[in-house]
Amino acid sequence: MEKTEKEKQKEKEEQEERALEEHTRKSKLFKENRFMFEIERKKEIESLIKNAPEEYQPKLKQIQKEWDDTMKGAGTKHNRLVLAEHMLMDHFHNIFKPYINKAAGIEEE
């Protein structure tokens, strides 16, 4: 039986509430015990990678290692933000955008 719009909306609201509670918990853990936060973060990333299709797992592990290695040497919050922005934009311009353009039949300049 298909869910009604009301049921879907209620389910969505419950999911959002759980997500906010989890975010609050992790934010508190980050502030109070950075070491435990990092352990939990790494476990969640490993679980996510293990649940990805097997053919994507090596590339995902490589990307995560590059991210961790880069962030390890960042030093300050500001540097981490700058590095994260740089890595995101680099990925967008060098991987994502060319792939989308190729799929759309748009030639790169």
Q: Provide mean pLDDT across the span 82-98.
A: 91
Element counts in the chain: helices (H) and strands (E): 5, 0
Q: What is the mean pLDDT of residues 6-22?
A: 94
Report the range of poorest mean pLDDT among 2-6, 35-39, 51-55.
2-6
Burial zone of 21 (CB within 10 Å; 0-12 exposed, 13-18 middle, 19+ buried): exposed
Task: Give yes or no for residue 6 having a pLDDT over 80.
Answer: yes
pLDDT of residue 75: 85
Q: Mind listing the pLDDT tens digit for each residue in 57-77?
A: 999 999 999 889 988 888 888
Q: Is the pLDDT of residue 109 over 70?
A: no
**In this structure, which amino acid lies at residue 7?**
E
